[in-house]
Amino acid sequence: CYMDSPLQPIKPNLNREPKRSLTTNSHTDKRKTRGARKSTKQVFESYMTFEEVSHGLKRGELIQGQLRINPKKYHEAFIPSPDDTRDIFLDGIVARNRAMNGDIVVVKVLPQEQWKLKKMFVESEAQKEHMVQKKLEKKREHTPRADVIVEDQCNDLDEVITKLRNPTLTDAGTVVAVVYIVEKKHSRAATGFLKFLPDKPFAMFSPVDHRVPRINVPLSDCPEDFTTRPGDYANTLFICRITDWAATSNFAEGQLSKTLGQAGEIEPETEGILTEYDVDFSEFPDEVLDCLPKNLPWTIPPEEMSKRRDLRNECIFTIDPATARDLDDALSCKQLPDGNFEVGVHIADVSYFVEEDNTLDTIASRRATSVYLVQKVIPMLPRLLCEDLCSLSPLKNRLTFSVIWKITPEGKILDEWFGRSVIRSCVKLSYDHAQSMIEAPDKMFTAEELPPVDPVHPIDEIHQAVLNLHSIAKNLRAQRFSGGALRLDQMKLSFTLDKETMMPQGCYIYQYRDSNKLVEEFMLLANIATAHHIYRKFPELALLRCHPPPKAKMLDELQELCDQLGINVDLSSAGALHKSLITTLGDDEYSGARKEVLTHMCSRPMQMALYFCTGAVKDERLFKHYALNVPFYTHFTSPIRRYADIIVHRLLASSLSCGPHLRLSSDEVQKQASHCNDKKTVSKRVQELSSELFFGVFVKECGPLDSEAMVMGVLDQSFDVLVLRYGVQKRIYCKVSDPLHKTLSLYTFVGKKSELTLVWTPEDTESAPVEQVISVFTLVEVQLKADNAPMKYSAMLKRPGDNC
C-alpha cells in the first residue's frame, strides 16, 4: 500500500574477517594464483582479496552496493552511487564478473577523464535532422511495404541518446568490473530447460530468467535416458543450482536439484519460483512441532488468565477477506456515557507461543514472513499456530495484545492503554459483510445474512460498532491526509479459482472500499502508537520502520516530464503530491485511468520502506516514514505472518513488565531487521510472479483478450501501456507486433516528453494512411494473446478504430 531502499548506502564492516557469506566460494580467486593461470585465457577479472577491498573502500577507490540487473536487457546492470542519488551503470556481463542479481558487490570506477561513449552524439539540431532524413531515405529504399510505417530517428545512436538523456548512466561513469562479492544474496538456483550437446560430456541448462547465466550440467546428473531421448525433455522444467563459475568460462557449472514437471503447468512453475527466490516451503520438522502445545484442544491456563485483562465479554470482532484463516487482528468500539468512544485493536499474542531462541523461533526468524501466492500461502509459522491457536476465531478464547484508546467522535485521542489481554471474538466478518453494514446504516440485518454470531451480542450492536468505527476512521483518515500523508494506490489483479483444479476461472480488479479503509486506519493508529511507546522505552533497541524520501534526481526528472505534459503536480512533499493526485485529471470516463498512469509515474522515484534498529541509526531524522508523514512507525499488527511484529511484541511485553527480560542486543535486532527487509522484498516479488503466472494461464485459456489501454511511457521502438480491463502493465513492440513488423518509426523528444508516430497504411487503395501519435495518456486498443513460450503472453496494438 505504501511505498515502503535503504536508510543509507550499504556500509561495509571492515573490522571483521570475511565469513562464508562475505566471500565467494571456489570461484573467488586470490591474486597470488594469477601467475599460475596465465596459460588459460580469462574471461573475467580475478577477484581482489578481502584486504585489498577493505583498503580500497576506506580510500574511496571502490564502491559497494547491491547489484540490480535489468530483467529486459540482461547486459545492463546498476548499483546505487555512494550518495544514493543516482545509479552506476555496469555495461555487459564481463563487467558484472560473475555476480548475480541482488548480490552485494564492490566495483571499481575509472576516473572521470577516462569515461568513454561508444559513439559521439550529434549535438546540433541541423546535424540531427540531416541524419534522420538520410536514414529514413535509406530505409524506405530497402524496406518492403508494410501495414504500418513506423519512422525511426537515429536508431544506431539510441543507446548513446538514452545514456545522455538519463543521468543515472552518464553521471556515474564507466565501471571497470565487479572486483569482489561481499554477499551472495541470489540463491544461485534457477528454473529452466536442458539442451543436449552432441560430443560433449555435459548438457546445457538454459534458465528462464535471462539474468542467470547458462549452466553446464554433467551428463551423469541428467535423467538416465536424456542422451538417447533428449527430445522427451524438451518441455520439462528443471531446477539447477550453480556450484561454480570459473573466471575462464562464460558459463557456470551446476547440478540439477529437481525435475519439476511440464513447463506451463501452475504447480511446477510455482515451485520453480519459490526455489529460485529461496522461499522455504518445506513442511515444518518435528523439532519445530515439538515446541507447540500437545494437549489439544488447547485451553488457556488459569495462571495465564490471571495475568491478563479479561475482555471476553466485550463486543470484539474480526474483519478479513472471506477466505482468510489466519485472523491476527480484531476490533472493538463501544460508546461511553460522555459521548466519546473506547476503541480497541486486539492482536494475536504470537510471542506467547513462540519462545525466544527455541527451534520454532529460529525457523520463524529465518522465514521472516508468510508468502502469499494466488492459490495458497507459504506460512511463516506452523498451521496449528496460524489457523488455530493464534487465529482470533469467533467464539473461542484467544490470547491477545491490545491497544485501547479513549477517543472523541472526531478522532482525537484522549487516553491510551497497552497490555496483554484475553478476547472472545463474537463474529468473523468479511470485508463484504462490513461494507454492507456501512452502506445500509438503517438496515436490520438478519442472522441468515451474516456468519454465526455470539448470542451475547445482538447483530444490531455489532452493526452499530462497525458504523461508529467507520465514522471515526473517516475522521482519522482526513486528519492524516490533511497532515501531509500520501497513499499511492495501484490496480491489483485478483482471480476466481476452480475449487478442485485451482485453475483461474476469471479475474477482476480488486476494489479497495470503505471497509478496507476502516481496518487499515486503526491498524496504522496501533502501529504508530506502538512505535512511540517502544522507542520511548528502548531508545537503543526499538525495531521501527522508516520510509526514506524519493530520490531527488528522479523527482526532478518527473517534475520536468509533468510540466512538459501540462500536468500540475506538486512534488515538494508527500502531502503536496497526495493533493495533486486527488485532483481530477479531466472530467471524462478516463480520468481514473489517467490517475492510475500518473500514480505509476510517481511511484518510480519512491524508495522502499525498511525495518531498522534505532540503536544502529544515530540520526533521528532518518526514522521518519515519508508516505505516512510520521516520525515513528513500526509493524505490530500482523505477528502471524511477519517476524518483525513478533520482535515488537517482545519489546512491548518487556516494556510493560508482562514478558520475559529481553536478551536481544542492538546488533542482533539490526541483523534481523535487515533479514526481514530481504525476505519482504522477496515475498513481494514472488507474489507478483504468481499473479503473472495465473494471468498468463488465463490469457492462454480464455484469450485473445481485447481491452482499451492507456500509454504509460514511450521508448524509441516500443511503449508501455496499462491494460484498463485487467490492470496489467505490458510493453508493445512496434517491430514485432502484427501488423507492425518490418516497419519504421518516428521517435521524437520534446524536453522529457517523448512521442512515437505510427503511420498505418490504408486497408484499401482508396483510403489515406492513418497517423497515430503515441505519447503518455494516449488511449489505444490492444489485444492480449498467448505466446508460444509457456505462461507468456504479448500485447498487440490494434489498428485505430477497431473496437474492442
Q: Is 80 exceeded by the pLDDT of residue 396?
A: yes
Exposed (0-12), middle (13-18) or buried (19+): which is 719, by Cβ within 10 Å?
buried
Q: What pLDDT score was predicted for residue 175?
A: 57
With pLDDT > 90 as the criterion, what percentage of the chain qualifies?
68
Ranking 332-341, 542-551, 655-664, 789-798 by mean pLDDT, the lowest is 655-664
Q: Is the pLDDT of residue 169 over 80?
A: no
Q: Is residue 103 part of a domain?
A: no
What is the reported pLDDT for 351? 95
pLDDT of residue 253: 96
The reply to whether 320 sits in an annotated binding site is yes
Rounded Cα distance, 279 and 189, in Å: 11
Question: Among the listed ranges 121-130, 265-274, 744-753, which one has the minimum average pLDDT value?
Answer: 121-130
Alpha-carbon torsion 567, 571, 572, 574, what sign? positive
Give the helix/strand (H/E) hosting 714: strand 705-714
609 vs 26, higher pLDDT: 609
741: pLDDT strictly greater than 80: no
pLDDT band at 110 (very low <50, low <70, confident <90, very high): low
Residues 419-447: what's their mean pLDDT? 96
261-262-267 Cα angle (round to 5): 65
Question: Greater confidence, 630 or 25?
Answer: 630
* The pLDDT of residue 804 is above 80: no
Residue 13 in any domain: the answer is no
229-255 average pLDDT score:
94
Tell me: do 508 and 580 sit in the same domain.
Answer: no
- Burial (0-12, 13-18, 19+ Cβ within 10 Å), 181: buried
The reported pLDDT for the residue numbered 742 is: 37
Whether the predicted pLDDT of 653 surpasses 80: yes
Q: Are residues 394 and 520 in the same domain?
A: yes
Lowest-confidence segment of 162-166, 412-416, 743-747, 793-797 by average pLDDT? 162-166
Q: Final residue of a domain: which of 689, 724, 744?
A: 689
Given this model, what pLDDT does residue 121 score? 33
Q: Please give the tally of structural domains in the chain.
A: 4
Query: Averaged over 598-616, what is the pLDDT?
Result: 94
Are 160 and 115 within 8 A, CB to CB? no
pLDDT at 750: 61
Cβ proximity of 402 and 347 under 8 Å:
yes
* Assigned domain for 132 exists: no
Element (H, E) at 749: strand 746-750
How is residue 367 written as a grid cell?
522465514
Q: How many CB atoms lie within 10 A of CB 768?
A: 8
CATH code, 730: 2.40.50.140
pLDDT category, 18, cuts 50, 70, 90? very low
Same domain, 761 and 725: yes
The torsion angles phi and psi of 670, rounded to 5 degrees, stand at -65, -40
From CA 535, how far away is CA 361, in angstroms rounded?
Answer: 23
Of 586, 604, 622, the last residue of a domain is: 604
CA triplet 262, 267, 268: central angle to 5 degrees?
40
What pLDDT score does 662 carry? 78
Instruction: State residue 526's pLDDT score.
Output: 98
Strands (E), 208-351: 215-218, 236-244, 252-262, 309-310, 316-320, 329-335, 341-348
Question: Which pLDDT score, from 0 to 100, does residue 33 have?
Answer: 37
Give whole-number Cα distances, 646 to 347, 560, 642, 650, in Å: 11, 44, 7, 6
The helix (H) or strand (E) run that includes residue 696 is helix 666-702
Q: What is the largest CA-CA distance in the chain?
A: 91
Beta bridge partners of 774: 756
pLDDT computed for residue 31 by the predictor: 38
Averaged pLDDT, 663-669: 90
699-720: pLDDT as tens digits: 999 989 999 999 999 887 889 9
| Residue 166 clears pLDDT 70, i.e. is over it | no
**What pairs with residue 96 in β-bridges?**
none
Alpha-carbon distance of 451 to 529, in angstroms, equals 32
- The domain containing residue 586 runs over which residues? 552-604
Which pLDDT value is given to residue 755?
84
Cα 793 to the center of its chain, rounded Å? 21
What pTM value is reported for the model?
A: 0.85
Mean pLDDT of the chain: 85
Would you say residue 757 has pLDDT above 50?
Answer: yes
Is 329 annotated as contributing to ligand binding? yes
Cα 221 from Cα 699, distance rounded (Å): 36
CB 185 within 8 A of CB 269: no
Same domain for 731 and 786? yes
Closest CA to 202 of 224, 183, 170, 227: 227
Query: Which of 606, 644, 643 lies closest to 625 in space, CA to CA?
Result: 606
Q: What is the CATH number of the domain that holds 196?
A: 2.40.50.700
Q: Do residues 472 and 504 both lie within one domain?
A: yes
Measured CA to CA, the distance from residue 591 to residue 677 in angstroms comes to 36
- Across 735-751, average pLDDT: 52
Tens of pLDDT, residues 213-233: 999 999 999 999 999 999 999
> Is the confidence at residue 439, as pLDDT, over 70?
yes
Answer yes or no: do 300 and 249 share one domain.
Answer: no
Which band of pLDDT confidence, cut at 50, 70 and 90, is reported for residue 802? low
Contact 780, 774 (CB under 8 A): yes
Q: Environment class of residue 83 by beta-carbon count within 10 Å: exposed (0-12), middle (13-18) or buried (19+)?
A: exposed
Task: Indicate whether 270 belongs to any domain.
Answer: no
* Same domain, residue pair 365 and 467: yes
For residues 627 and 600, membership in a common domain is answered with no
pLDDT digits (tens, 9 = 90+) for 500-530: 888 999 999 999 999 999 999 999 999 999 9
pLDDT at 759 over 90: no
Query: How large a percentage of the chain has pLDDT more than 70?
Result: 84
Residue 580 domain-assigned (yes or no): yes
Is 802 inside a domain boundary? no
**Of 362-376, 491-505, 575-589, 670-684, minimum mean pLDDT range:** 575-589
- Quick one: 761 and 659 in the same domain? no
Distance of CA 62 to the CA centre of its chain: 29
**For residues 284 and 148, what is the distance between their CA atoms, to the nearest angstrom?**
58
Q: Cα–Cα distances in Å, from 32 out to 35, 38, 106?
A: 7, 12, 20
108 in any annotated domain: no
User: Distance (Å, rounded) from C-alpha 350 to C-alpha 292?
Assistant: 12
Closest CA to 623 of 695, 532, 690: 532
Rounded to 5 degrees, what angle do the CA atoms 447, 453, 457 make?
A: 105
The C-alpha atoms of residue 388 and residue 325 are separated, in whole angstroms, by 9
Based on the fold, state whether residues 709 and 780 are members of the same structural domain. Answer: yes
- 781 and 709 Cβ atoms separated by less than 8 Å: yes
Least confident range of 15-24, 69-78, 476-485, 546-555: 15-24
Structure confidence at residue 73 (pLDDT): 85
Q: Which amino acid is at 177?
A: A
**Confidence at residue 161, expressed as pLDDT on a 0 to 100 scale:** 29
Question: How confident is the model over 787-801, as pLDDT tens digits?
Answer: 888 888 999 999 887
Q: Are 790 and 191 in contact (CB under 8 A)?
A: no
Instruction: For residue 233, tell me if it sits in a domain.
Output: yes
From 263, 278, 308, the end of a domain falls on 263
81 — pLDDT class (breaks 50, 70, 90)? confident
Same domain, 573 and 639: no
578 & 464 share domain: no
Give 2's pLDDT tier (boundaries 50, 70, 90).
very low
